[in-house]
Amino acid sequence: MLRRTAYSLVALALAGAATATACGRAAPDATTAANAHGPITIWLSNNAQEVAWGKNMVGAWNKSHPGQHVTVQQIPAGKTSEEAISASIIAGTSACLVFNTAPASVPTFQKQNGLVPLSDFPDGDAYIQKRGGALTDQYKSQDGKFYQLPWKSNPVMILYNKKIFKKAGLDPEHPQLATYEQFLKTSRTLVHSGAAKAAIWPAPSSEFFQSWLDFYPAFAAQTGGKQLIEDGKPQFDSPAGRQVAAFWRTMYSEKLAPQELYPGDAVNDGKSAMATVGAWAVSAYKDSVDIGVAPVPTADGKSPDDTYSFSDEKSAAMFSACRNRGTAWDLLKFASSAQEDGKFLEATGQMPMREDLTDRYAGFFAKKPLYKAFARQAEHVVEVPNVPGSVDIWQAFRDEWTKSVVFGDQPTDTGLRKASEKISELLDEYGDQS
Amino acid sequence: MTNLPSAVTAPRAGTAVAGGHAPAEGAASRHRRLTTRTGALFVTPYVLFLLVVFAIPMVYTLWISVHRFYFTAPGTHADSPWVGLSNYRDVFTDPVVGRAFLNIAVFLVINVPLTVLLALVLAAALNAKIRFRAFFRAAYYLPYITASVALVAVWQFLFGSDGFVNHLLGSHAPDPSWLVNSHLAMPMIAVFVTWKQLGFFVMLYLAALQNVGKELYEAASVDGAGRIRQFFSVTVPGVRPATTLVVIYAIITGANLFSEPYLLTGGGGPDHASTSPVLLMYQKGIEQGHPDFAAALGVVLVAFVLVISLAARKLTERGN
């Protein structure tokens, strides 16, 4: 009797689970969806200026496209946008378009069958290449298709607080930050004078993406624009990589950069005199910090026009849960048109991924010269390599970086060598799978 | 609770014996069937809960752990080939996994004895007739019901590099500071969790102390035992079942450690000095997209908790 009851309960539970699975969302048919038009939802980052632009852009679209209503939302809350997007792919609830897709996550999203290849639209490749020009090709995936439209960049530069520089007895209009020696000397003055607790305060924690704000911009600058991996091989276990690591190790060992994560915004709170940030920070800090901008330092110093940095680019991507991909593609082109790019630049200060920004939007840069440095930097940027296993690769690098550079538990050269070996193994492993 | 089903289902001896007739036996049998069905009906929601929330995911986890697996969009196809014990091999050869289990061992060595000792002593004190007893009971319980995030903020205020404790210590403060020091990060988490959970364990012991007969204390007192002797000879043996519960619960809490290293030490601390297996499961499964590795690690963790819990139970029940 009891056994029968138990069997019935198990059968009931399994039936419930099977029903739940059957009721899950099914993937839309790709051929039908590609030409379908109708209502869609798009997601934006939670940057206030960006959201304001998005609402205006969508308002303009909705006015002239009855029956193809677009709803705009911020990306659901999560530790990072990438985690929220990944979860939405698995649940089948992602928006049609996400205007905040990190290129490093594109291989993962592809593997999850979460992305629509934009190259499959008849005018896909042509539109993407025309819009982005020479900057575009590094965003192609390994199968030769575009799964993302490179949309905006926030080239990483050194942002500094003029008031703190002045307090430390430094000239805020002519900061000495071009070479490693100058940068270290300036940092020592800032900290030893008591003007700020930290000269600069990048997150010293172990998340894979943190290297994009300390190591990678400096590596790009030192090498004249090398990516972390080129031709299937890691590039950083090299004299340039070692110089970068030694420079940052000095910053940490002399307590010019703290080893502890700041539980807020160190620049806004006046705890740090400098930060490595993109153009978004100009409008974010405009009411609280009197800011200046300088290129990322190199060992011997380079002119701003020859200095490379990390792009901190975000793409727009279309997700496979989208049922009205015809509308999504049309909206993507509308949102990335020259006119909307101009409005986006005006509203947010972030750089649309286009060539000749300063000429194209000369009026804006004449009015706001601080942004001009970012626009010029946007023409000398490198992206994260678009390779399978990108997140694992960056995590392997970060683990060795925190161990050797941040905490000095092993020599920096050893850390770079170990990271390079591990990344080579990962590249082989992922290469074998493809 | 264990007495209830037998009280309900057992036929009263007098009924069957006194009657001794077939109709009475039939009635008893019908009554038994009815009570069995009623009992089954009552436990159905819990059985369903166990199946849906525990058993099915557990079986699915085992399946994932022996396949090359990643999560994909619903309705799309992705190969999940059988890889045997390959994920387990990856788990056992990953040095970060070894570090995570070592961290948990450090945690348990500090947290479990400290929890048992402090909770028992405080419970014994709070069980005595002291002034402001209700206030103290609430005060110890407060951290347990307060959100982890809020408590982490208090801890950072105290032990951050710029924190209150370092201001007191001055040049004697550790370098690197408490929460980013590879030797101190895990002990700091163990102490933090002890403090946070203490109220709950004090409450368990307080409940257990109600069952220790007052006559035992009186007898011990007549025999000339002082308070300390009474504590070791009456209180400690009297709450031994509660101690087993506290130890096993503390072990499970330690093995499930996630939010403390995640929030307190910036996601695993320097060189994974405070990475826990569950945090690693999250990083591998969610952040890095390797649910197969995370599933294998989860299975290993369950086995680890079972072994440690059984060993702890043997130890605490020794002499019963």
- The CA distance from B221 to the nearest CA of chain A, in Å, is 52
Taking CA–CA distances from B286, the nearest residue in chain A reads A83
Output the furthest CA–CA distance in chain B (Å, rounded).
Answer: 91
Question: CA–CA separation, A196 vs A289, rounded Å?
Answer: 14
Taking CA–CA distances from B54, the nearest residue in chain A reads A13
- For residues B272 and A27, which has the higher predicted lDDT (pLDDT)? B272
pLDDT of the residue at B17: 44
Mean pLDDT of B110-132: 90
C-beta separation of B270 from A401 below 8 A:
no
pLDDT of the residue at B8: 38
Query: What is the pLDDT confidence band of residue B3, given thresholds at 50, 70 and 90?
Result: very low
Question: Is the pLDDT at A130 greater than 90, yes or no?
Answer: yes
Mean pLDDT of A273-284: 93
| Mean of all residue pLDDT scores within chain A | 91
3-state SS assignment for residue B52 = helix
Question: pTM score, two decimals?
Answer: 0.83
C-beta separation of A219 from A226 below 8 A:
yes
Of A92, A197, A406, the CB nearest to B73: A92
Contact of B71 with chain A, judged by CB distance below 8 Å, is answered with yes
pLDDT of the residue at A413: 97
Q: What is the DSSP letter of B179?
A: G
pLDDT of the residue at A82: 87
Taking CA–CA distances from A264, the nearest residue in chain B reads B153
Question: CA–CA separation, A279 vs B209, rounded Å?
Answer: 63
pLDDT of the residue at A25: 61
* Chain A residues 2-31 with CB within 8 Å of chain B: 2, 5-6, 9-10, 12-14, 16-17, 24-27
Contact flag A206-B289 (C-beta cutoff 8 Å): no
Query: What is the pLDDT confidence band of residue B2, given thresholds at 50, 70 and 90?
Result: very low
Residue B75, exposed/middle/buried by CB under 10 A (0-12, 13-18, 19+)?
Answer: middle
Question: CA–CA separation, B238 vs B16, rounded Å?
Answer: 40
Predicted confidence (pLDDT) per residue in A332-382, tens digit: 999 999 999 999 999 999 999 998 888 999 999 999 888 999 999 998 999
Of A83, A197, A207, the CB nearest to B286: A83
CA distances from A89 to A18, A147, A333, B289 (A): 21, 15, 23, 12
Of A111, A197, A205, the CB nearest to B70: A111
pLDDT of the residue at B140: 81
CA distances from A303 to A177, A275, A375 (A): 12, 20, 15
Question: Is the pLDDT at A241 greater than 90, yes or no?
Answer: yes
Of B102, B108, B112, B101, the C-alpha closest to B301 is B101
The percent of residues above 70 in pLDDT, for chain B, comes to 91
CA distances from A19 to A14, A29, B54 (A): 8, 22, 18
Question: CA–CA separation, B162 vs B166, rounded Å?
Answer: 7
Q: Which of B33, B37, B51 to mutate to test the interface with A (most CBs of A within 10 A)?
A: B51
- The CA distance from A3 to the nearest CA of chain B, in Å, is 11
The upper half-sphere exposure of residue B215, i.e. CA atoms within 13 Å in the direction of its Cβ, equals 0
Predicted confidence (pLDDT) per residue in A246-263, tens digit: 999 999 999 999 998 888
- For residues A78 and A298, which has the higher predicted lDDT (pLDDT)? A298
Mean pLDDT of B95-123: 94
Question: Is the pLDDT at A22 greater than 80, yes or no?
Answer: no
Question: Is the pLDDT at B67 greater than 90, yes or no?
Answer: yes
SS3 of chain A: the string is: CHHHHHHHHHHHHHHHHHHHHHCCCCCCCHHHHHHCCCCEEEEECCCHHHHHHHHHHHHHHHHHCCCCCEEEEECCCCCCHHHHHHHHHHHCCCCCEEEEECHHHHHHHHHCCCECCHHHCCCHHHHHHHHHHHHCHHHECCCCCECCEEEEECCCEEEEEHHHHHHCCCCCCCCCCCEHHHHHHHHHHHHHCCCCCEEECCCCCCCHHHHHHCHHHHHHHHHCCCCCEECCEECCCCHHHHHHHHHHHHHHHCCCCCCCCCCCCCCCCCCEEEEEECCHHHHHHCCCCCEEEECCCECCCCCHHHCCEECCCEEEEEECCCCCHHHHHHHHHHHCCHHHHHHHHHHHCCEECCCCHHHHCHHHHHHCHHHHHHHHHCCCEECCCCCCCHHHHHHHHHHHHHHHHHCCCCCHHHHHHHHHHHHHHHHHHHHHHC
Strand A40-44 and strand A97-101: the pairing is parallel
Contact flag B47-A9 (C-beta cutoff 8 Å): yes
Question: Is the pLDDT at B10 greater than 70, yes or no?
Answer: no
CA distances from B71 to A20, B276, B288 (A): 17, 23, 12
| Mean of all residue pLDDT scores within chain B | 86
* Chain B residues 278-307 with CB within 8 Å of chain A: 283, 286-290
Of A35, A430, A426, A434, the C-alpha closest to A208 is A426
Mean pLDDT of B303-318: 89
Check whether the bond before A352 is cis (ω within 30° of 0): no
* Chain A residues 59-98 with CB within 8 Å of chain B: 83, 86-87, 89-92
C-beta separation of A89 from A59 below 8 A:
no
Which residues of chain B lie closer than 8 angstroms to A110, CB-CB?
none
pLDDT of the residue at A2: 45
3-state SS assignment for residue B67 = strand
pLDDT of the residue at A432: 56
Mean pLDDT of B78-89: 94
Query: What is the pLDDT confidence band of residue A30, given thresholds at 50, 70 and 90?
Result: confident
C-beta separation of B265 from B189 below 8 A:
yes
Question: Is the pLDDT at B22 greater than 70, yes or no?
Answer: no
Of B72, B153, B161, the CB nearest to A112: B72
- The CA distance from A367 to the nearest CA of chain B, in Å, is 41
Which residues of chain B lie closer than 8 angstroms to A86, CB-CB?
71, 286, 289
Taking CA–CA distances from B178, the nearest residue in chain A reads A260
Q: What is the DSSP string of B240-295?
A: HHHHHHHHHHHHHHHHT--HHHHHHTTTT-GGGTT--HHHHHHIIIIIS--HHHHH
C-beta separation of A352 from A150 below 8 A:
no
Query: What is the pLDDT confidence band of residue A14, given thresholds at 50, 70 and 90?
Result: very low
Question: Is the pLDDT at A289 greater than 90, yes or no?
Answer: yes
Query: What is the pLDDT confidence band of residue B287, given thresholds at 50, 70 and 90?
Result: confident
Query: What is the pLDDT confidence band of residue B149, given thresholds at 50, 70 and 90?
Result: confident
Predicted confidence (pLDDT) per residue in A35-88, tens digit: 999 999 999 999 999 999 999 999 999 999 999 999 999 998 777 888 899 999
Give the bridge partners for A140, in sequence order. Answer: A146
Of A1, A27, A406, the CB nearest to B73: A27
Size of interface A-B (CB pairs under 8 A): 127
Query: What is the pLDDT confidence band of residue A202, given thresholds at 50, 70 and 90?
Result: very high
Of B73, B287, B290, the CB nearest to A112: B73
C-beta separation of B94 from B266 below 8 A:
no
Which residues of chain B lie closer than 8 angstroms to A261, CB-CB?
266
The percent of residues above 90 in pLDDT, for chain B, comes to 55
Which residues of chain A lie closer than 8 angstroms to B287, CB-CB?
83, 207-208, 391, 395
Contact of A391 with chain B, judged by CB distance below 8 Å, is answered with yes
Place of tokens 């499959």: A120
Of B74, B78, B179, the CB nearest to A92: B74
3-state SS assignment for residue B296 = helix
Of B70, B76, B290, the CB nearest to A27: B76
Contact of A298 with chain B, judged by CB distance below 8 Å, is answered with no
Predicted confidence (pLDDT) per residue in B187-216, tens digit: 999 999 999 999 999 999 999 999 898 899
Question: Is the pLDDT at B117 greater than 90, yes or no?
Answer: yes
Which residues of chain A lie closer than 8 angstroms to B36, CB-CB?
1-2
Q: Which of A312-321, B125-134, B173-182 has the lowest mean pLDDT?
A: B125-134
Question: Is the pLDDT at A319 greater than 90, yes or no?
Answer: yes
Which residues of chain A lie closer than 8 angstroms to B268, CB-CB?
205-206
Above 0.90 for ipTM, yes or no?
no
Question: Is the pLDDT at B261 greater than 60, yes or no?
Answer: yes
Query: What is the pLDDT confidence band of residue A9, given thresholds at 50, 70 and 90?
Result: very low
Which residues of chain B lie closer than 8 angstroms to A409, CB-CB?
182, 270-271
Contact of A429 with chain B, judged by CB distance below 8 Å, is answered with no
Of B73, B76, B289, the CB nearest to A108: B289
Please report, as a single letter, which amino acid is at residue A213: L
Which residues neighbour B184 within 8 Å (Cβ) at sequence distance 6 or greater? B174, B178
- The CA distance from B181 to the nearest CA of chain A, in Å, is 9
Query: What is the pLDDT confidence band of residue B240, given thresholds at 50, 70 and 90?
Result: very high
Contact of A406 with chain B, judged by CB distance below 8 Å, is answered with yes
